[in-house]
Structure formats: structure tokens, C-alpha cells
Structure 1
Amino acid sequence: MSDPREITRVLFENFQPQAIYLFYAFGYAAIAVFLYGTYAQIRKYRRGQPDGSWGELLHRFGDMAKTMLTHRTLVRRDKSAGRAHKLIFFGFIMLFLGTVTITLEYDFTARLFGWHFWYGSFYLWFSLILDFAGVGVIGGLLYMMYRRKWLHLPKLDYTRPDRQPGDPDYDRSGYRREDWAFLWSFILIAVTGFILEATRLVWLADRPTVWDYRWWSPVGALIAQVMQGIGFSAEGAGTLRSGLWWFHGLLALTFVACIPYTKIKHIFTASASLMFRDPLPAQRLPKVPEEQESAGYKYITDLTWKQLLHLDACTKCGRCHEACPANAVGAPLSPRDVILSLREFANNAMSSGTLPDKAELDIHGKDVGQVFMETLWSCRTCMACVEICPVAVEHVPIIVQMRRKLVEDGDMDPILEKTLGAIHKTGNSFGDSKRKRPAWTKALPFEVKDARKEPVDLLWFVGDYASFDPRNQKVTQAFARLMHHAGVDFGLLFESEMNAGNDVRRVGEEGLYELLATSNIGTLQSCDFKSIVTTDPHSFNTIRNEYPDFGGEFEIQHYTTVVKQLIEQGRIKLKKKLDYRVTFHDPCHLGRYNKGYDAPRDIIKMLGCELVEMGRNRDNSFCCGAGGGRIWIPDPVGLEKPSANRMKEAGTIEGLQVFIVSCPKDLTMFEDALKTSGFEGKFVVRELIELIDECIEYEEWEDEVVAAEI
């Protein structure tokens, strides 16, 4: 029986001392290059602004570890790529731990303390596990190669929508070369590792402690059998092993040295990005610090250290590019390209020992690496990019911060500038007198309470479009009837309500937003109520997530949650069931922003409708195009509107009768799109409130009022 201590693998067997010393010299050089690159990256991050993401580190680390171990962000909407990455990730971890184990035994425990553990059963199981890990890595890498070469996925095409052919930074073929270099170098390391294992087995086939245990290294053993079958001798295998050993070792050391300088660094930057992610990245935008002289970002050094880290975390996977509604309709925006442009800019300007002059740090403009004004204004701030990013890059806050600088400099569409002026003057985006805000209540057969003058249970924050737009006013009146019918004690702020500011803030007009927010908060705090309801998801988002930063913490619900509760409590009685074939559009600010997916669908089922989901639904819903202030900015002539794109998607549903929305801006955008996209007469766009209203069991006088309005 063999001595267990002889069942092992000697690392430098048959190597001259000079060769070993040379290998260690290369190893230390690779580590030095790696450490210097790491230092340069950290120096770059330190040149960014402070960021308050250091709290709850233990919780953050646990969430990051869970995300990485489950791959939950990678398998979403691309399960094949997620599974392949799992093989690469876990295989790499095992191979890395194996290398660390060998180094620990050879260079520390054995050398310093004479303690050996890498032999016998431990070594055999170690060898078996690493063989499976290597197979996993190779399998995952081969699929990634196949995916890039033969699937021709648009999201992996680095063609820039914000540049024209011939522009100096239009060509991104360097990224494709980097991707392939990464894949080939990684797979060569794994493949040569197996061949090296096989040559060792053939070379030492006369040793029972090697050959008799070869199947504990099944891949190497299989290759060794083939090598022997084609006539490889022990001497030939030994010669091949010597050259291959150096090739494999130097390739692995080069891989390590290149980590801080190439996409390989995402191993670390993606982990850190996930760890420091903001749970409300676009829902709650940052205030302008009091000590900051101007709003927004003008220079690359205005970004925080975390945002600079986000730039390096991007793996160019293209998921944000694919999800972006602006990009889908041909606008000059790809969230991925914004991040990559800023990353290139940061690497060029901030990685050297000293920073260049301020003028060379400006990230706005038409020069190489700068972000175009048209690109920034194309964003709908729908959060589709942030929501799908597997490594937690926060695109929207960066874009809004850059918009703040554009607004401060007056670089915006004249119509947008006029709208912002109207909001500042009148408190609403329509520019109408404040006294007209509650005008819609005059058509109601009952008085609506003034929450400024008497206590109410539910304070209804109506919003601009629901108050001033004639089409939406009908929906608003219907909701008032629902509340009155259900016996809800509700009231309004009447003319004291101002635009909630959600879209004003996402446009980049932070000063006006703070004026609106503090005014509304002061008014709300002067009233006596239990909670707030709103039919406007945009108002819902900012009151819920952003007003607390200004001292206004209120309990607020979207109307779908309130109505669902009232139906379940029997306070709203449905007199009939609808047999419509319908689809539902998730508003960005109710769905992606605030996870309000279920209540609207539950109500639709209660109404008896047949709900058929569009392909893009829930967190993958497609923006109507109104967000981020785009409802106030005309789209370029000839460019498809996101709302028209969505109509085409709905139009593929056979027998569709009703396209349901639950947002005033959605109603406006989609009714316009219905007329221009060729689907008018095939189905209708309706607010969910209108369908509920159709099923209500009103009193006789209420029926007369409804009939008169119809």
C-alpha cells in the first residue's frame, strides 16, 4: 500500500533552482503590477466627491454576498448567460481557492513550520473538485464565445447611437478585442492547465502513486489516455510539460497583472458596486449640498467616489442598452454608452499622478469622451437601466446631476424652459391660475371637503394632469364619486396644492423642486389627516421617497391600493362583471419605482376582465415616454415615440379591447399614440378608475349624474 504522503504533486519537480527563482521573480513582478494598478484605481476614486454609502456595512456585505452567490441579478431576462456566468464564477472561485491552498502549503506551512497537508485523501479530493471546476469554467466560457460570435445579440453590438461614423470616438472595436482577449486568455489558462495535468500523468506513469490514482483527476486522466494512445512517450510528455508549464504559468501571472487595467477588474468593482448600492437610487435623488457652489455635475471630479466605482463596474453586458425606451425608438441615448464615455473620460483624466486643468475635466460637450446635451435630454428617467443592471450601476442619478448643470446654464428646450417658468409662477405645468385647480369639483353633486379647514381621514393629492387636463378631469371626477360612494372621509388642498415636483427634479431644476416640495410639505403639515392618497404615480413617488429628506414624512398610497381595500371590505360594491379582454401598462413610477405591481392586477381580476400581459410587463414595463420631464419636451420629427412603440406591442394581442392605465400622464400619452399608430377603433385606452366606475352600484341620484356626464 502506498504511503499517503507520496500521493501528491510536487510543484517544481525536475526544475533547476535558477528556473524556480526566475518564476518567483515573474510572480512578484506580476503582483507589483497588480498592486500599482489597484493603487491607481483607488487614487482615482479618492479624487471623487464624498458619498454617504458607508452605513450598515455588515448588512450591505451580506446582501452583496447573497446577490453574487445566487446570481439573481444575472439570470433575470437572460437565463442562459446567467447560468454560463455561474459556471465561470464558481469555477473561478474554486480554482482561485485551490491556487491559494497550494501557495499556503508550499510557501508558508511547509517552508516555515514543516507542516504538509497537500497529500493523500485531501490531495485526491482537491484534484477531483478542481477538475470539475475547470470544466465548468471552460463550459461557461465556450457558451459566452458562442453567444458573442453567433447569436448576434443587439445588446452586444457596441455601435453608439449618440455618435456618427467618422467621429473620433465612434469606433468601439477596442472593446470587442478586449472581450475576446479576456475570453481566450481565460480559456487558455484552463485548457493548458488540463493538458499540463495530462502530461504530468504520462511523464510519471511508471509511478504507482501517480498513475494508479489518475482518475481522481478525470479530465487530465482522459487526455493522458489519448496522449498515450497516439504514441506519446514519458520522455516526450516530460519535454512538453516543461514548455507548457512556463506558458501556463506566465499566462496566469499576466492575467493577474492585467486585472486592474482591463475588464477583469469587474471581479472586484462589480462586487463593491453591489455592496454600496442605494436601495432607492432613482426614487430618491440627492439634494444639492449647501456648500456646493453650483448645481449638478460639470467636471468628472464632481462625481462621487461611488459613482466613479460604478463606471468601472460596468461589464458592457448591454442589458440597460436593451431596456432603454429612448434607445429603442432611435434617440441618441444608450445608458451603457453614457457610463462608458464617463469611464473613458475618468481613466484618461484621473489615472495619472496629477489632474489636468479644469477645462480638460469638463464632461459636457461634443469632444471625445464628453456627453452630448441631446443624449442627456433623451432620458425618460424611467429607471429601466438601473433596475436591470446586474452590477447595480446607478445611471439615472448621474444623468440628472448632469442635467442640473444644463438647467443652470440654460441649455434646454425653449418649451421646457417656458414650462418650468410657468410652474414657478403658477405652481402647475399648465400655467393656469391656481384658482382653477379645483374647478373640476364643481361638476360633482356633492361637496368635497377642504382639508385645510377641517380634519379628514384621507387627503387626496390630485396632481397637475388630473386637475387641469380635460380628459383626465373625467377620471378625477369618477374617483371622487368612488370615494364618496364608499363613504370615505376625504378632502383636498384645493388651490393650495402645487405641482409635487417629481418631474421638475428629474429635469434637473433642483431649486424649483425644493421650492415646490417645501411649499407642499408646509401645507400638508398644517392639515389634519391620517394618510394621503393620489391618482398620480409621479406625485406618489416623490412624496413617499423624497419629501422625508425635506422634513415631510407622510403615509401615502396610490389609489389602486386604497380601492382594492375598499372592494375587499365591501364598501365599494361591484354591480356587474366586465368581460373585456384587456392588457395593463405598469406606470414606471408605480411599478419599477415603487413595486406597485399587484394591486392594479387584483382589481382587474375583481372586475371580471381577462388580463393578457404584454411581453414587457411589471419590472420590464416599457415607459410611455412622459417621464423625466419629457412630456414637456417635443420629440424630434420623424422619431418614433415610446408610447407608439408600446401601442404596437399591445396591438399584437389578439382580440384586445381595452388598454388599461393607472396614471394621468399615461392616459394622455397613450390616447395620443392610439390615434397616430393606426390602432384607433381596434381597442381603447382607459384609466382603471373608469372601468371600476362602470361596475359601481350607485344610488339612483348617482346614476343620474353619471348618465348625464356620459
Structure 2
Amino acid sequence: MPERVDFWGIPHTWGPPELYAYGIMGLASLVLLFRLYQAVSLWWRLGRAEKRWDQLHIRIWRLIQYAIVQVRVLSQRYPGIMHVALAWAFFVFLWGTILATIHSHFIGFLYGHTYLVYKLALDVFTAIFIGGAILAAYRRYVLRPRRLTLAPRFTYSLVLIVVIVLGGLSVESTRLAVERPEWAWWMPAGWLVAQLWLATGASDATLLDWHFGLWFFHLLSVALLFVTLPQSTMLHVITGPLNVFFSKLDRPMGRLAPQPQTASGEPLFVTSLRDLTWKQLLDSEACTECGRCQDACPAFAAGTPLSPKELMLNIRTALRRDGPQLLQRGNGANGVPALVGEVVQDAVLWSCTTCGACVRECPVLIEHIDTMVDMRRQLVNEGRMDSMLQEALANLGRYGNSFGQSERVRGRWAQGFDPPIKDARKESVEYLWFVGDYASYSATLSDITRKTAEVFQKLGLDFGILYEGERNAGNDVRRVGEEGLYEMLVHRNTAVLSRCSFKAIVTTDPHSYNTLKNEYPPEVLDGRPVLHYTELLDQLLMTGALKFSHRLGYTVTYSDPCYLGRYNGVYDAPRRLILATGCQLVEMPRCGDRAACCGAGGGRIWMEEQAVQERPSEARIREAAALEGVQALVVTCPKDVTMYRDAVKTTGYEPRLAVKELMELVHAAL
């Protein structure tokens, strides 16, 4: 009967094989644990405290999803199949070792068909691993995508794990070549390799010598993996799952963590690694250097200094280089480069549009934006920003809008309506329309704003606005890093909102929508919903309250705003409205949660133009223009309208591609 035999064919010349096998692996395990302790204790002791131990059942489920099943890794076909082949194979090998240990030392069960199925599974995954390794080698040394880190240390890791797996296969195959059992085909990979040994004509004694040599080499290669893992690229097999387990659960993607405070209640600014949380430091150690974040980053594609991958690697390098000295001497350690300005350059931080594409793509759930905003707060605190941004923030502080216009002008667009648009501060309304700065003040958007009001009136909605009582909602102010100004804007808006009687807030600006929905004090909303206008119109469409009398017949494409789609998951409502107007919708290659950014977010619309290869908005226009037969790019964000109408001119596509706000289509189809 087939059964698993421990240390088959291993001579006792040097004593019982168990002694030196377990001795070598025990010593290697101690070195592994010690070096892991050194690495983990560095970010754990250096970083600020942060609670990430709650809701264990959700964290375990995330671990299964992202670290074991690897759903986000699989979202890209070639690298996904490649990585899953390697990772799942090693996961099966780990379980194979665990089951073998149970069989040897606790409960014997690897006999007969159970043993054969066990060996078949290991052999199948050996073949899967070899396939994954071939894909990895071809990608790294032939395709060489720009996003990969093509350093020799990755070659070392790939070669080592291939040597380990091929070593195990060779050990099995030499045993099969000697035994030649009738059930050998249950180990197809091993039996095929055994044919090579048999073809040499070597005697059984020679094959046994080879078996012992290969077994000992395999043992040493596994020990080498253990010893070097904490300092190699393989460390991510530990830090990656840890990062997934400790990913944020206490707040949605659209809610930034509040600015930390000192023990005395003063704002804490990030000046060194010690001012980051242990989880932010773990983010840097968990980075697999796959480059998915870099590929998705609109700032990197435009040619700015920002690469989300390099941001994490720079923090990791500083952590390993400066961390021990900071632990010993604190922030006053001499010769330690400043985190903000030296380790991470100012221009890198100001390049970010906070679009969230990097966070969406990261397979180990790194939270890049929280860390960048924390460092931006330090730049704002020291006044290290361009003059345009300084002026915009000054205007926001003085007037409540970035245009520097009087608050009395905010509602000027609403003049001439019959009946007049209600003042929600004075009358009870069902829908309080939070209009936003661009829709209120931009001369190029006033026509769209008026059409929005006309649509609301035609539908018989009971709505009103705040007129001069409204201030900028603060979404981008906060992401610029001006937390104090953000809190002031929130205070002024909530003071007005708390005196109004309404059943829901509706807004045409996804940036305002995000912060009102996710970041404003819950007692102000008191359970009342915050809706983007597309959600409201979609509800009316579903109930039959919204009916169109004209079919427009345009062929259009749609660009999901970052703060409506990726941040808040609103994808279907705008598309249903587009189709309901009688338009044909053609999707761009980058759509839905992978939609490209216009480049305005994170306060970039208030900053000076950078020297770039191509602006994100121009790249998006070219993507839309490349679609056959498309007549218009449809958007649902005032900043998108501003950015894309400028880009369609600078790219020369204005004669053949119109930029339309979805509300313009709704207005025309009514």
C-alpha cells in the first residue's frame, strides 16, 4: 500500500536525519523570527499608535479575499495569473508540509488513496508553479514593463524559489526512479522527471547518492530562504497580508483621517517618520513594487515627479536607514534627512490629484493618499506652496470661495426665475441644493447651472439654495492640507444647514458631495441623505416621475468623476440617464472604477501649471476622441467641464468632439 515515508533513502551516516534536518531548519527559523522581529519592531515602535484591531471577522474575510484568493491581483490578466500561480502553489506546498508534519508526529493518515491524492495535488501545483515562473521570467526579462522594478534582488528571489521547487521535484523523481511503483503516475511531474534519471542508466545505488545530494541541497535552499526572507523582496509575503488585515475599516474611502494632535491638543504635523502611524510605515514595507499604482496615476502619466510606488519606496528606505537612529535619539537625531522636503520632495506631494486610482489598484491595500495629505499639512503649515494656491486659500478664508468674489454674488445666477428659487434658509424645502463654487461663480458654467434649476422646476421638485449663506464645502481644501481652513468652512456651512428645514441635500458637484456625505458631522444631516443630482434623477426615472419627450440620438462616451465613482461607487445612475435620453453610450477603455482623472482634484485646479508631457485632461480627451463615431464626452462634474472644455481646444478636437454636462442632455430631452 502506498504511504508517506519520512526521510526515505537518507543515510544515517551523519546520525539520524531528523537531527540535522530539524536542526538546520530550527536554526534558520530562529534567524527568520529574529530578523522579522527587528523589521516589525522598527515600524511598530517608531510609528504613532493607531487602532486597527477592531471587527476581526471583517479583517479575516479581507485577508481571504485579497491575500489568499488575491481578487485584486487577478484583476489584471497576465500578471494576475502569473502571481496567483506562484502564490497559490506555495500556499499548497505550505499545507503539504503541515499535513506531512501531522502525519509524522501526531496522526498518521497519508496512506493509500489519501496519500495518492495528496501527492497528485502537490505535483499539479508544482507544474502550475513552473508555469507561473516562466511567465514571471518572460515578463521581467523580455517584456520589461516600465512599471516594474527591474533590480537584481528580484532575480535572486525568483531564482531561489525556482531552485527550491525544482529541488523538491528532483528529490521526488529520484525516489520514483529507484522504487518505480505501479502508482507512479499519481505523481505525474515527478514520474516524468524520473524518466530522465532512468535514461542515464545509473544504478540504484548511484540514484540513491543523487537523491541524498539533492535532498540536502533542497534542505539548504529552504533554509536560505528563511534566513534571507526579512531582507529580500520576499518580505511582502508577510507584510502584504498584514497590511491587508490592518487596512482601514472605520471610515469610507471618501473620509480622511482627522489631523492628529499632540497630548496637549495641538495639531501634530508630519516632520519625521515618528509622526507617521505604524500602519503608514507598514504601508511602505508592504509595497510589492508591482507598479500598478504608478500605471494608474494620472500625475505620473503626465510626467510629474510623483510615482506612488516610489513614494512608498522612499519612505521604506528612510525607515530602514534612519529608523534605528530615530528610535534611539528621537526627532532631534543629527544627520537624519527631513521626511518632507528631502525624503519626499515638495513637488512630489503637490503633484497628487487625490483621484484614488493608486489606492484602487494596490493589491495589498496601501493607503497612499492619507500619507500624502498628512505631509501636505506640513507644507501648508510652513507656507511651502505656489502663489496661486496661496491666493486661492486666502480667498477661501476671506470670501468662502476660491474665486475671490463676494458671497453676495454667489446666487446671482438664480435671478429671473419664475417662480423664484427658494431661499432654503427662510423656507422649508424637500431638497436643499448645495450648488458649489464652480457652478455658482464660473461664467462658463452658469448656463449649465441655470439649466439644472430649470430641470428641477419642470420636474416639480420642491428645492431651494442657500444663496450667500453657502461656503465652499471644503473637500479640496482638506486634501490640500489646510485642515484649519477646512474646519472653519465646515463650521460656517453646518451653522447655516442646522437652521434649515429639508429632507435631503442634492449637489451637482462630486467634490462637495463627497465631503458632505462622508466628512460632515452626522448630527447636521441627522440621517438625511446626500445625493448627487444623477442619483436623484435616476430615482425619479425609476418611479416614472421623470419622462423624456425627445430622443437625442447622439453617440456619446462618459467619464466617471473620481469623487462620484471611485470614492462613492456611483456608476450606474449616470449611465441609465444617458441611455434614457436616447443616446448611445460607448465606454472608454478606462471606465468605471478605473476611469482616468481630469487632473483638477486635490486642489490641483488652484495650482500653477506644471511642466508636463501631457495634461491628464488632454490624455482623456484623446482617449474619448479615439472611439469610433463618438460625438460627445459626457461628464457630471463642474470641474470636469472646466478641464475638458479647455483640453478639447488645446488638443485640436473641438470641431469633432463636444464636452457635455449630463444635465445638458437631460434638459434637451425633456
With the length of structure 1 as denominator, give the TM-score of the two structures: 0.90
The one-letter amino acid paired with 1:184 is V
Task: State the partner residue of 2:506.
Answer: 533
Task: State the partner residue of 2:221.
Answer: 251
SS in 2 for 1:443: coil
SS in 1 for 2:444: helix
Task: State the partner residue of 1:35.
Answer: 33
Cα deviation, 1:258-279, whole Å, max 9, x if unaligned, reads: 2222221222221121122225
> 5 Å matches for 1:358-377?
358=331, 359=333, 360=335, 362-364=337-339, 367=342, 370-377=343-350
Task: State the partner residue of 2:160.
Answer: 185
Task: State the partner residue of 1:575.
Answer: 549
SS in 2 for 1:355: helix
SS in 2 for 1:602: helix
2:481, 2:363 → 1: CA distance?
A: 26
2:385, 2:218 → 1: CA distance?
A: 56
Task: State the partner residue of 2:199.
Answer: 229
* Pick aligned residue for 1:619 from 589, 593, 613: 593
Higher mean displacement: 673-682 or 499-508: 673-682
Task: State the partner residue of 2:146.
Answer: 154
Distance 1:189 1:563, change over 3 A: same
Task: State the partner residue of 2:257.
Answer: 286
Task: State the partner residue of 1:96.
Answer: 94
2:190, 2:612 → 1: CA distance?
A: 61
Q: Is the 8 A contact 2:304 2:612 kept in 1?
A: no
Q: Give 1:154 shift.
A: 1.9
Q: Is the 8 A contact 2:473 2:512 kept in 1?
A: yes
Higher mean displacement: 418-427 or 279-288: 279-288
> 5 Å matches for 1:496-515?
496-515=469-488
Q: Give 1:648 shift.
A: 1.1
The one-letter amino acid paired with 2:217 is F
* Pick aligned residue for 2:10 from 7, 13, 17: 13
Distance 1:550 1:653, change over 3 A: same
Q: Give 1:486 shift.
A: 0.8
1:685 pairs with 2:659? yes
SS in 1 for 2:445: helix
> 5 Å matches for 1:207-606?
211-279=181-249, 280=251, 282-291=253-262, 293-350=266-323, 354-358=327-331, 359=333, 360=335, 362-364=337-339, 367=342, 370-548=343-521, 553=526, 554-606=528-580
Q: Give 1:636 shift.
A: 2.2
1:133 pairs with 2:98? no
SS in 2 for 1:470: coil
Q: Is the 8 A contact 2:274 2:326 kept in 1?
A: no
Q: Is the 8 A contact 1:273 1:392 kept in 2?
A: yes
Q: Is the 8 A contact 2:102 2:108 kept in 1?
A: no
Cα deviation, 1:98-140, whole Å, max 9, x if unaligned, reads: 112223343x33xxxxx64444443332222211121122211
SS in 2 for 1:155: coil
1:82 pairs with 2:80? yes
1:195 pairs with 2:198? no
1:145 pairs with 2:119? no
Aligned-residue CA RMSD in angstroms?
2.0
Q: Is the 8 A contact 2:10 2:212 kept in 1?
A: no
2:16, 2:301 → 1: CA distance?
A: 57
Q: Is the 8 A contact 1:8 1:123 kept in 2?
A: no
2:230, 2:414 → 1: CA distance?
A: 63
Q: Give 1:585 shift.
A: 1.0
1:479, 1:300 → 2: CA distance?
A: 48
Q: Is the 8 A contact 1:517 1:550 kept in 2?
A: no
Q: Give 1:472 shift.
A: 1.2
Higher mean displacement: 30-39 or 228-237: 228-237
Q: Give 1:521 shift.
A: 1.6
Q: Is the 8 A contact 1:458 1:531 kept in 2?
A: yes
SS in 2 for 1:499: coil
SS in 1 for 2:464: strand
Structure 1, unaligned runs of 5 or more: 110-114, 159-172, 206-210, 697-710
Q: Is the 8 A contact 2:66 2:363 kept in 1?
A: no
SS in 1 for 2:531: strand
The one-letter amino acid paired with 1:49 is R
Q: Is the 8 A contact 1:580 1:610 kept in 2?
A: yes
Q: Is the 8 A contact 1:8 1:120 kept in 2?
A: no
Cα deviation, 1:441-469, whole Å, max 9, x if unaligned, reads: 11323211111111110000000000000
The one-letter amino acid paired with 2:157 is F
1:460, 1:361 → 2: CA distance?
A: 51
Cα deviation, 1:13-54, whole Å, max 9, x if unaligned, reads: 323344733333321221111111221122123221122322
Distance 1:318 1:550, change over 3 A: farther
Stretches (4+) displaced over 4 A: 279-282, 351-354, 359-363, 549-554
Distance 1:571 1:129, change over 3 A: closer
The one-letter amino acid paired with 1:151 is L
Task: State the partner residue of 2:23.
Answer: 25
Q: Is the 8 A contact 2:67 2:364 kept in 1?
A: no
The one-letter amino acid paired with 1:608 is G
Task: State the partner residue of 1:162.
Answer: none
Q: Is the 8 A contact 1:451 1:493 kept in 2?
A: yes
Cα deviation, 1:484-503, whole Å, max 9, x if unaligned, reads: 11111101111111000000
Higher mean displacement: 12-21 or 646-655: 12-21
Distance 1:479 1:432, change over 3 A: same
The one-letter amino acid paired with 1:134 is T
SS in 1 for 2:72: helix
Task: State the partner residue of 1:702.
Answer: none
Distance 1:641 1:29, change over 3 A: same
2:415, 2:230 → 1: CA distance?
A: 66
Task: State the partner residue of 2:63.
Answer: 64
Q: Is the 8 A contact 1:131 1:218 kept in 2?
A: yes
Task: State the partner residue of 1:208.
Answer: none
Higher mean displacement: 583-592 or 541-550: 541-550
2:124, 2:336 → 1: CA distance?
A: 48
The one-letter amino acid paired with 1:60 is R
2:83, 2:541 → 1: CA distance?
A: 46
With the length of structure 2 as denominator, give the TM-score of the two structures: 0.95
The one-letter amino acid paired with 1:664 is P
Q: Is the 8 A contact 1:482 1:572 kept in 2?
A: no
Q: Give 1:613 shift.
A: 1.2
Q: Is the 8 A contact 1:364 1:373 kept in 2?
A: no
SS in 2 for 1:471: coil
Q: Is the 8 A contact 2:184 2:191 kept in 1?
A: yes
Q: Is the 8 A contact 1:566 1:572 kept in 2?
A: yes
The one-letter amino acid paired with 1:283 is G
Identity, in percent, stands at 39
Structure 2, unaligned runs of 5 or more: none
Aligned residues: 662
Q: Give 1:523 shift.
A: 1.4
The one-letter amino acid paired with 1:55 is D
2:248, 2:487 → 1: CA distance?
A: 22
